[in-house]
Amino acid sequence: MKSNDRVVIITGGSRGLGLALTSDLLAQGGYRIATCSRQRTMEIDNLEKAHAEAGAFFWAKCQIGVEQEEAAFFDRVIDWAGQDTLYGLVNNSAITGEGILASFPNVDSARILGVNLMSALRLCRLALRLMLQRGVGGRIINISSIVGSRGYTGLAAYSASKAGLDGLTRSLAREVGRRGITVNSVAPGYLQTALSAGLNHQQRKQIINRTPVGRLGSVTDVVPLIRFLLSPEACFITGQILVVDGGLSC
């Protein structure tokens, strides 16, 4: 391992934005990436084969939203990376569920809030303890959504979880800024990922028509911003909710 390699934990790195970000940072160099997902995928196998010799990639099975599994995953990352090496955390794992709140099951709402918000809070706490002990700063990036500030019919629980994530971002930025740790949210618009797969044709058409650039986003539209926020050059940006939505919310 190079002395300047930065260890970053990315949750949900087996597909979508998490996979794109993991692949990008490994390709850029200068990072060691630890990620988790509920199931091993072919993409994870390929990343392990490509980066095993350099020791730059670590994956473990973990169900985000289950506190014991999160803690166990974190311990395994530290065993792999070393106690004093954690530089960044990207809270990317999320689930959604669509339905009018009046008929939406409480158990589903609780699960969405648990995975999208409470797990992020717990992982932030675990990461911050190490970053503060390390004493040389760090980066936390929470993957939010424009529905956290604008809402969307049928996504009350999901919107609430993302609004809470943005509140967590702002508060933590105030708590740890003087220690060189930045905390930001990246709020994508509607991306062509599994989370938007539930949109029907009419919904997609409406969103595209309302978006100034005239299309849904892709993960490649979001990755460069996250990469920048992880970099040393972003040391004066903190407590921000940075929107990447093709102008939909302007």
Which range of residues forms the domain containing residue 78?
6-244
Residue with tokens 């009018």: 100
Quote the percentage of the chain above a pLDDT of 70.
96
Whether residue 34 is predicted with pLDDT greater than 50 in this model: the reply is yes
- 72, part of any domain: yes
Tell me, yes or no, whether 85 lies in a domain. Answer: yes
Is there a domain that residue 233 lies in? yes
Q: How far is CA 14 from the centre of its chain?
A: 12
Across the range 151-158, mean pLDDT stands at 88
In 3D, which of 86, 239, 97, 221 has the Cα closest to residue 154?
A: 97
Structural domain includes residue 1: no
93 domain-assigned: yes
φ, ψ (nearest 5 deg) of residue 108: -70, -40
- Residues with catalytic roles: 158
Indicate whether 198 pLDDT > 80.
Answer: no
pLDDT in tens, 40-83: 999 999 999 999 788 999 999 999 999 999 999 999 999 999 87
Distance CA 88, CA 241 (A): 17
Higher-confidence residue of 122 and 150: namely 122
Q: Is residue 118 part of a domain?
A: yes
Q: Above 60 in pLDDT, residue 2?
A: no
For the chain, the domain total comes to 1
pLDDT band at 199 (very low <50, low <70, confident <90, very high): confident
pLDDT of residue 52: 78
- pTM for the predicted model, two decimal places: 0.94
What is the CATH number for 123? 3.40.50.720
In a domain, 250, yes or no: no
Residue 243 DSSP SS3: strand
pLDDT digits (tens, 9 = 90+) for 8-19: 999 999 999 999
Give the per-residue pLDDT at 3. Answer: 44
Is 41 within 8 Å of 16 (Cβ atoms)?
no
Band of pLDDT at residue 204, cut at 50, 70 and 90: confident
Place of tokens 């809402």: 151
Can you tell me the distance from the alpha carbon of 118 to that of 199, in angstroms, rounded to the nearest whole number? Answer: 26
